[in-house]
Amino acid sequence: MILLYNTLTQLRYGADEMNDPASSRKRLYDILVTQQGYFTTVQAHTAGYDSALCAYHVHRGDWQREARGIYRLTDYPPTDRPDLVLWSLWSRDRSGRPQGTYSHATALSVYNLSDVNPSKLHMMVSPTFRRRGLHPGILIIHRGLLIESDVEQMEGYSVTRPLRSLRDLADCRMLSDELLLEAAVQAVHRGLVDPTELMSTPEWAPVISLTAQLRRTLKKS
């Protein structure tokens, strides 16, 4: 009877959590607290939760299944921009490492530069990025190469730094000149971008009218 009880308990709670539930919960919490309450199936397994236990916690309402292989702790406090964490985790590779970095207009919204509020999320991925199935409709995927100095790590996701974001937007002309100029001026005033460096970048320099406007605006201020 004792053996049967232990077997059933192990099936319900998973071997690791049954033997040391506090350690499993702590390991999982240490992961999800850096990701605004989100975690993946692989991360749950690493913490000590097997597949049966994951299904159990979803059924009981402890966890919410947000996307394929992605969960969020139901009682986790509200956070800023949880959507950015969710879709960052969606971009993970087979090892579980996110491959996407938020960019373009989405990056400006993260830094609160100008009045840009895109309805979709702009994400930069490498040219070799691949995911099975259709991409989520909320995402606009850009392919390009980023270096370490282009990227800033936030709480559970990464975003292109202001200089790279402005360069990308000047290159693709996604925004009006007015919004792009507004974002550039705000970035300079807040010390996020060096104006000389911005105006000398290959993407920004050809925009002669915008460069001249930026110089005039900065002189007035």
**How much is the average pLDDT of 81-110?**
96
- From 19, 42, 73, give the residue that closes a domain: 73
For residues 110 and 182, membership in a common domain is answered with yes
The span from the CA of 165 to the CA of 125, in Å, is 14
For residues 169 and 132, membership in a common domain is answered with yes
The pLDDT of residue 90 is 97
The structure's pTM equals: 0.84
Q: Residue 20 pLDDT more than 50?
A: yes
Residue type (1 letter), 135:
H
For residues 200 and 100, membership in a common domain is answered with yes
Q: Where are the beta strands (DSSP E) in 135-182?
A: 139-143, 151-153, 158-160
The span from the CA of 58 to the CA of 56, in Å, is 5
For residues 160 and 191, membership in a common domain is answered with yes
Q: Which domain holds residue 32?
A: 2-73
pLDDT band at 105; cut points 50, 70, 90: very high
Q: How many domains does the chain have?
A: 2
For residues 11 and 35, membership in a common domain is answered with yes
The pLDDT of residue 18 is 46
For residues 99 and 42, membership in a common domain is answered with no
Q: What is the pLDDT of residues 109-131, one digit of tens each?
A: 999 999 888 999 999 999 999 88
Task: Report the percentage of the chain scoring pLDDT > 90.
Answer: 62
For the CA atoms of 217, 168, 118, 213, the dihedral, rounded to the nearest 10 degrees, stands at: 10
The pLDDT of residue 14 is 47
Q: Residue 15 pLDDT more than 60?
A: no
For residues 69 and 87, membership in a common domain is answered with no
- From 55, 73, 91, give the residue that closes a domain: 73
DSSP 31-96: HHTTTTTEEEHHHHHHHT--HHHHHHHHHHTSEEEEETTEEEETTPPP-S-HHHHHHHHHTB-TTS
For residues 89 and 120, membership in a common domain is answered with yes
For residues 214 and 154, membership in a common domain is answered with yes
Q: DSSP assignment, residue 137?
A: T
Residue type (1 letter), 112:
N
Q: What is the pLDDT of residues 28-51, one digit of tens each?
A: 999 999 999 999 999 999 999 999
The pLDDT of residue 8 is 35
- From 73, 97, 118, give the residue that closes a domain: 73
Query: Which tokens go with 39?
Result: 């975690």
SS3 at position 213: helix
Q: What is the pLDDT of residues 47-86, one digit of tens each?
A: 999 999 999 999 999 999 999 999 999 999 999 999 999 9
The pLDDT of residue 116 is 87
